[in-house]
Structures are given as structure tokens and as C-alpha cells.
Chains A and B, each alone.
Chain A
Amino acid sequence: MNQILFAGFNALAFGMSIFLVAAGLTLIFGILKLLNMAQGAFFMIGAYVAFSILGTGSSSFGFFLLAALGAGLIVALLGLITDRLVLTRLRHVDYHYVLIATFALMMVCNGLVKLIWGVEFVSVNPPTVLDEPVELGSLFVSRYTLFIIAAGLVVYLVMEVALHRLWFGKLMQALAADSWMAGLLGLNVPLGLALSVMVSFFLAGLAGGLLLPNQSLSPQLGDSYLLFAFFAVIIGGLGNIRGAFVGSILLGLVSSLNTVLLPDMPGIAIYVALAVFLFVRPTGLFPSRATQAEPASDEGGGSLARSRIGRGVWQVLGLAVAAFAASMPLWANEGLLFLAGSTLVQGLFALSWNILFGYAGLASFGHAAFFALGAYLAGAVLRYWPAVPFLATLLGAGALGAAVAFVVGALALRRMSGIFLAVLTVALSEAMRVLISYSPLLGREDGLVNIPRPVLHLPFAIDLTSSAAYFWFLLVTTAAIVAVLWWAMHGRYGRKLLSVRQDPERAAFLGVNVTGVRIGAFMLSGGVAAVAGALYAPWARIVTLDEVHWLASTQPVLNAMLGGVNSFWGPLLGSAVFTVINYGTRTLIGLSELIVGTILLFIVLVAPGGIVGVLRSAEAAWIRRRGGAAAPAAAAAAPGAGARP
């Protein structure tokens, strides 16, 4: 009995911690229809700020509260800056770009935190008053636990009252319902939006301050909380405070049951619960209108727009690049060759991401899960079952990737909105990381090392053990896959995908099964990503948990965005350019997140069409200046041009 009560208290406390983070997340979603991927990072900044104010020693209760408030205010200020610099510029852009921008922001924040506070774990004691247990009947509960439960309740009640009773809340509600209408009614919309952003960020910072004690504070802190907060708002119904509250408590209960019933696998039940819940009740407990449909994308797709430069020029250029790459094993050193091979794999990986984004209009933020799936599969097969033909392993990886994508897609894509897919893919990579870290076969935290390179047994044997041989194999396989994808994306399958991307509802009225097409595209994308991973394992000869980290998931996003998502070749170009950038800044170890995040943010804000987009615009301008008659069409085809207000 006591044990159950105790578990109940812990469940409630954990649920309230989740709610403290989820509160800001759901508020900003309700009003700006913005899923802030960086909420967890700002929560973490709040914790670090409070830590800087408090120090590691014990403090008085009042000072602790003050520090938490201070953290809230400072993060609110950061929120204002973020709003001015980033969010206001993205108000009328396809929501995927906003997701990517906040994703980039998360990386920038993580990089900054590491730079300022270092990567060591620190721990902070609760204030002295809260540090001792209280006796409730025969039960000992820490006061801090009770405090967190109380804090969660207070925040919830204050938000309910403020949103439904106060002037400020009513303004926010009006904005949430229809900001255009609110403007007509004479409400100050920009002020209201800025205020909502600040309140949401304040909540993140406050949560960081309040939850600081009893945690080991490290730059990973934001990740786990963010994910649980996402789950809570999805279960509750996006944008609904009450939903987030109930959802958080449910998650607390599930996780507590997990520790009681499955103590060997902490953290698994939450993923299962989320999957089951999404399957049974995809709209959440308190569905809001915001997620039921969304306006057709604003962004120019333009993938079909043909360049004006003759096809012959590109063919010659492509052959030259291929010949250059093929010659590399003959003159390049090991290091350079390794970089080139990895670029090929990353290029294929980025291309797989962009099939989903550029062609089907859906974003995955956990694409590393598919890559890792393939990499671990190939690594394990090569190590433990060397008799299996390598080409069969590659095919198996593709099939496995597609199968997992099918399950995730079937759960996430039943609604029109792609937001669920964004969250569920993050969840997938996190769940995979947890699972792999439990698996002795897959090397747990250490990964699979010393992966042997294969020998192909065609009618004649081809030994791929040398770097040169495997590099050529990589080149040929990648080229073959790219060629098939190029053919598919430029034929009727590509046309069908693009029509769904431009206007899913219109496409449905062509008799196209939009959900089916999207799941199919996700399977193709996941399958290709897994093949890329399978190709990578014997190349790097080591596969570790880093492959599943969300940082690995940003790589294809960044590469595709850098090169240009509205062009088939953009992701490959972006991967090559990024390799060069990375190589040039390799001495700045530790700054990589900051650099990558900043570049990504910069692209989204300034040149959402990437390098190809910039080139196309330049080309169009050049033609216009020369008085070309066809100029208007070319200008409009410049991707991203339509998105800038």
C-alpha cells in the first residue's frame, strides 16, 4: 500500500515536472500555431541561469524562488529577442520552415550552453527547507516532491484563470482564434503575439529554475524533457492547457508504472503509451481546431521548374564530378578518401530526407533513426553472420527502414497535419537510442566496432576490404540509387508527390489517397536512409549511439536546406559544401552545434531555397536584365521567392 502511494507521489511529481515544461509549449502553439522545438533548450538555459544565481550550495527558500523567477525573466527576454530576430520573420511561411528554424535554434542554444557552462554534470541541492522529508501517515515524502506538485498546480491554475478571466488572456484567446479578425477589432496584434511568446518563454525559464534541484544538470537536460513535453501536448490535444495538464499527469503515471513493472527497461513504456494513444485517439483528449487542417503551403515548390542552362552543360559537369570522384582512390590520402566516401553517404541520406520534404511536403526530425537502423543491421550482420551476401543485407536494410516507416507513418499521418510526424520521428530516434543502449548484441553505449568490410560473391568474387575498392563500390551503388530516384521523382510518381505537397486537399479531389501517398513516400525515404546507413557501417567500420542522436538527424536537414530543397540535386550539393565547411572549421571542435545551427537558421531566414535557389534567382535576374521575354516565369520559379513577405 505504502509503495503504491509512494509511486503515486513520484508519478504526480514527474507529471508536474513535464507539465511545467509543456505549459509554455502548448501556450505558444495555441496562439502562434508554432511547435517550438527549442522549448527544451530554453528550459535548460533557465536551469543554467538559476544555477549561476544560486551556486551549488544549499540556499534559502526565498532565494531559490527568486532565482527561478529571475531565470524566467531572463529567458523571457531571450524570447523577445528570438521573436524579433526569427519568429516575426517567419509568420507567413510554411510551418515546416518554422519547425526547422526552431530546430536550428535548439542547436544554437545547446552550443551556447556548452560554450558558457561547459559539458560537465553539476548538481544543485534543493533549498534547505525543501531538502528534508515530511511524514505523511506512515509515508516519507521529500518536501521538494510536494513542492513540485504544488508548483505545477499553481502554474496550471494561474494559466486557466489568466486565459479565461483576464484582459491579457482574452487578447491571447482572440489571437488564437483568428489573429486577422483580432486586428480588425482594433486589438494590437503584434504586441499580443510578442507578449504570448514572452510568457511562453518565461514559463520555460521558470520551469528550468524550479526543476533545477535534484537533477544532474548537463547539456542533455533539455532533450528528455522536451520530448516528454511534446508527448504530453500531443496526448492532451495541441494548444490546450487543460490537455497538457492531463496529458502530463498520464505520462507521469505511465512512467511510474514502468519503473514498478519493468525496472530493467526504464523509459520504454512512455513510447508504447504514446503509440497506442495516437492509434486510438489521434486528435488528443481535447482536440483543437488548429491541428485539423492547415492552409495550403505558401512555399513555392518549383521542383519541376527546369533550369534554363542547357541540359548538356549539366551532363558534362556531372560526368566531370563523377570522374573526379572515381579517380580519388588513385591519388587521395586515406583521410581525404574517407571524407569523400562519407560525403557520398551523407548526400544519399540528405536526398532521402528531401524526398519526404521537397517532394511530399513532410518533415522528419528523427531521420537518423532510419540511418542507424541500416547501419546497425549491416554492422551486426557483417560481424556475426558474415556468410550473408552483402547486397542482401543492403536490401534487407531498405526493407526494414520501409517497414518501420510504415508503422510510424500509419500512426502519424492519419491526420492532414504533418506536425505529428515531426514529433513522432523525434520520438522514434529517441526510442531507438534507448533500445540500442540496452542491447548487448549492439554494443550498448560503446556501439559496434571493428566491422569487417564485405566480399561480394557475384558469379566472380569482388573483394571490398580495401578502402579504394569499397569507395568505388560506394560510388557505383550511390550513383545507381540516385539514378533510380531521379527517374522516379521526374516521372509520374514525382508529379503525384508534388501535387500532394502543393495542395493535399485538391489532390484528394483527384481521387488520390493522400494518406497512402504520404505513407508511401515516408517508406521510400526511410528505406533509402536505411540503405545509406547500411552502406556507411562497413565504410566507417564503427557504428555508435552518436548515429541515433538528434544531432545526426539535423545533418540531412541541414545538407538539404543548404543545397536547396526545391531541387533534386540540392541535397547532394549541400552535403558536398557542408563537408568543405566542416573541414575548414575542424579545429573549432565543440563549436560544431553552434556553427551548424547558425548556418541552418541563416538559410531558413535569408535563403530558404538554398544554394540552388540563390543560383536560380541570380539566373532569372540575369535573364531579366538581358531583356529575356520568358523572365517572369523564371523569376516565379525561383523557389522560396514567394515565401518572403
Chain B
Amino acid sequence: MSTILMSTILDVAAVSKSYGPLAVLKDVSLDVHRGEIFAIIGPNGAGKTTLFKVMTGESLCDGGRVRFDGADVTREPSHRRVRRGMGRTFQVARVFRDFTVRDNIVVAIEARRRNGGERVGPALSMAPAAEVVGEADELIRDIGLDHVRHSQASLLSHGDKKRLEFLIALALRPSILMLDEPTAGMSPSDRIGIAKLIQRIRDERGITVVMTEHDMDIVFSLASRIMVLNYGEVVATGSVADIRADQAVREVYLGKEMYGA
């Protein structure tokens, strides 16, 4: 932990958000350091997904401020934040269902090149450029989806869909990756696979990760720091050891399996 350079990449200050009379986020603040894996945990309905939405621009907050990579992005739409280097996955995996696995990655790479002002491909060609396809295939091989490269995405298994969504996000070469419950609904072996993958992309590509997760084993093995959210309020933020020892967190999670760990 001491090896992490303490520069802040994502800074959320006193964010609040209500749906009608229901205050879902109340003065939530956090800062994510470059290169760390930051986990947000909390019981169902705590507001984790809502916080994700506010951080990624899917919805805008009522009060407070979001800074990303040195810029105030509080009112920026999602696509702008993505162009600044923010990638995300959804709690329920979302992929382009009618495209093949490869085409899913191809549109992502083409979007990245277009956003970065790079040449997307030869001016008149209809098929994607050879470099684009090459890069897509390399990513697909790297994550182990080779066997379904030409399958239509809607026909994939749940785990493969999650992996594909991951790949789409990676293809954008983000500096930060926001993962909302990356292992939700997966088999235990798939979970371990995804956990390893998250660790690997952080180590190999230096991508900062912000994730929510219900599986405490995964959280404790991956996260450098953890924030606990309950009823839209921050209960505690700290290292794994801090959180395990925290009395308030114990109350939120009374009877949960984290004590067995």
C-alpha cells in the first residue's frame, strides 16, 4: 500500500441525490487514488448503484461535486467522462446483443479511435481496419473468449457476457474502471476468474478500479481501501484491516459472513 502514489484520480465531494422524497445519497464523499482498487460495500439498497450513476454521469447529482482526473465533471454527460478515460460495466451486464463478440469489441475500439481523433480505418472501406480487428482478437484471446469469437452476444452464457462487457470497457483503454458488482450471479469458479482478472488488469495495465461487491472474500482479497455505505451515508472508509475492526461496520453487517473470513 505504501507503494501507491497518493495522487487522487476521482474525487467525490458531499454528493447528494434524491428520488422524489427518498434521499438515496446523503453527503457522500470519497477519493480514489491512482492505481488502487477501491471497493464500495453496503447492504442492498444502500445506494451503491446510484453512487455509480452519479460518478459516471448516467444521472446527475442534486448537490455536491465530482472531479475526475483534475477536471470538474459534475454536470458532464457520460460520453464526455468516458472520453476522459472512465470505463464502466453495469450491474446487469449490457452488451450489444445482436453483434458478434468480435463486433462488440470492434465498435468499442472504433469509438475509442474516433474519440481520440485517430484514424478509424481506410476512408472507403466497409469492413473494420485490420489493426482494429487484430487488436480485438488479441483482447478476446487474452480474456479467454476465443471459442465464442463469432457467436452472437445474446447467445453467450451469463459469465461470458460479463467477461465480454469487461472486454468492451478494456478496449477503451480507460484510466479508471468502474465495476458495479462484477461477479453478481456468477458461479464460484467464475467469480475467482473475474477476481483474478481484476487484479491482473490493475497490475498489468495500471488501471484504477472502483468496484461494488457483495462477496466479501473478493473484496478483502482485492481492495486496497474500502468504503461502507448504508442508507446513503458513509459509515466508514479505510483499509481492509480498519474496516474489519470498525464497530459501526459490524453493526451494519451484523451476522454477515465477514466475521467468518
Known: A492-B128, A495-B106. A506 touches B154 (CB 8 A): no
Contact B103 A495 (CB under 8 A): yes
Output the nearest chain A residue to B128 by Cβ-Cβ distance: A492
User: A224 at the A/B interface (Cβ < 8 Å)?
Assistant: no
In the bound complex, residues from chain A placing their C-beta under 8 Å from that of B58 are 505, 508
In the bound complex, CA of A507 to CA of B82 (Å) = 10
> Distance (Å) between the CB of A565 and the closest chain B CB?
13
In the bound complex, residues from chain A placing their C-beta under 8 Å from that of B124 are 487
> Which residues of A (460-519) have their CB < 8 Å from a CB of B?
487, 490-492, 495-496, 498-499, 502-503, 505-514
B-contact bits for A516-539, CB 8 A (1 contact / 0 none): 000000000000000000000000
Contact A636 B99 (CB under 8 A): no
Contact B98 A302 (CB under 8 A): yes
Contact B96 A503 (CB under 8 A): yes
Contact A496 B111 (CB under 8 A): yes
User: A305 at the A/B interface (Cβ < 8 Å)?
Assistant: yes
User: B125 at the A/B interface (Cβ < 8 Å)?
Assistant: yes
User: A301 at the A/B interface (Cβ < 8 Å)?
Assistant: yes
User: A642 at the A/B interface (Cβ < 8 Å)?
Assistant: yes
> Which residues of A (269-322) have their CB < 8 Å from a CB of B?
296, 300-305
> Distance (Å) between the CB of A256 and the closest chain B CB?
35
Contact B77 A508 (CB under 8 A): yes
Output the nearest chain A residue to B154 by Cβ-Cβ distance: A636
Contact A491 B108 (CB under 8 A): no
> Distance (Å) between the CB of B150 and the closest chain A CB?
8
In the bound complex, CA of A566 to CA of B112 (Å) = 27
Count, A-B residue pairs, CB within 8 A: 94
> Distance (Å) between the CB of A287 and the closest chain B CB?
11
In the bound complex, CA of A414 to CA of B83 (Å) = 20
User: A158 at the A/B interface (Cβ < 8 Å)?
Assistant: no
- Quick one: which of A305, A506, A509 has the most chain B CB within 10 A? A509
Please tell me which one of the listed residues B94, B106, B120 contacts residue A506 in the complex, with CB atoms under 8 A apart.
Answer: B94
Interface SS majority for chain A: helix
User: B206 at the A/B interface (Cβ < 8 Å)?
Assistant: no
User: B175 at the A/B interface (Cβ < 8 Å)?
Assistant: no
Known: A496-B111, A511-B111. A502 touches B97 (CB 8 A): yes
User: A386 at the A/B interface (Cβ < 8 Å)?
Assistant: no
User: A633 at the A/B interface (Cβ < 8 Å)?
Assistant: yes
User: B32 at the A/B interface (Cβ < 8 Å)?
Assistant: no
Known: A508-B79, A510-B82. A492 touches B155 (CB 8 A): no
User: A572 at the A/B interface (Cβ < 8 Å)?
Assistant: no
In the bound complex, residues from chain A placing their C-beta under 8 Å from that of B79 are 508-514
Known: A490-B126, A505-B94, A509-B88. A495 touches B107 (CB 8 A): yes
In the bound complex, residues from chain B placing their C-beta under 8 Å from that of A183 are none
In the bound complex, CA of A512 to CA of B154 (Å) = 22
User: B239 at the A/B interface (Cβ < 8 Å)?
Assistant: no
User: A632 at the A/B interface (Cβ < 8 Å)?
Assistant: yes
In the bound complex, CA of A495 to CA of B126 (Å) = 10
User: B36 at the A/B interface (Cβ < 8 Å)?
Assistant: no
Contact B78 A509 (CB under 8 A): yes
In the bound complex, residues from chain B placing their C-beta under 8 Å from that of A513 are 77, 79
In the bound complex, CA of A239 to CA of B162 (Å) = 35
Contact A495 B154 (CB under 8 A): no
Contact A498 B99 (CB under 8 A): yes
In the bound complex, residues from chain B placing their C-beta under 8 Å from that of A637 are 98, 152
Contact B110 A492 (CB under 8 A): yes
B-contact bits for A591-633, CB 8 A (1 contact / 0 none): 0000000000000000000000000000000000000000011
In the bound complex, residues from chain B placing their C-beta under 8 Å from that of A507 are 111
Output the nearest chain B residue to A491 by Cβ-Cβ distance: B126
Contact B107 A496 (CB under 8 A): yes
In the bound complex, CA of A487 to CA of B111 (Å) = 19
> Distance (Å) between the CB of B95 and the closest chain A CB?
7
In the bound complex, residues from chain B placing their C-beta under 8 Å from that of A502 are 96-99
Known: A505-B58, A642-B154. A510 touches B97 (CB 8 A): no
A-contact bits for B217-241, CB 8 A (1 contact / 0 none): 0000000000000000000000000
In the bound complex, CA of A506 to CA of B111 (Å) = 12
In the bound complex, CA of A510 to CA of B90 (Å) = 13
> Which residues of B (123-147) have their CB < 8 Å from a CB of A?
124-128
In the bound complex, CA of A303 to CA of B103 (Å) = 13
Please tell me which one of the listed residues A487, A496, A506, A633 contacts residue B155 in the complex, with CB atoms under 8 A apart.
Answer: A633
Output the nearest chain A residue to B110 by Cβ-Cβ distance: A492
Output the nearest chain A residue to B57 by Cβ-Cβ distance: A508
Output the nearest chain A residue to B19 by Cβ-Cβ distance: A289
Binding site for A on B (CB under 8 A): 56, 58, 77-79, 82-83, 87-88, 90, 94-99, 103, 106-108, 110-112, 115, 120-121, 124-128, 151-152, 154-155, 168-169, 172
Binding site for B on A (CB under 8 A): 296, 300-305, 487, 490-492, 495-496, 498-499, 502-503, 505-514, 632-633, 636-637, 642
Given contacts A491-B126, A508-B77, 8 further A-B contacts (CB under 8 A): A296-B94, A491-B125, A492-B120, A495-B103, A496-B107, A503-B94, A633-B155, A636-B154
28 A-B contact pairs sorted by A residue (CB < 8 Å): A302-B98, A487-B124, A490-B126, A491-B125, A492-B110, A492-B121, A492-B128, A495-B106, A496-B110, A496-B111, A499-B96, A502-B97, A503-B95, A503-B96, A507-B111, A508-B79, A509-B87, A509-B169, A510-B111, A510-B168, A510-B172, A511-B112, A511-B172, A513-B79, A514-B79, A636-B152, A636-B154, A642-B154
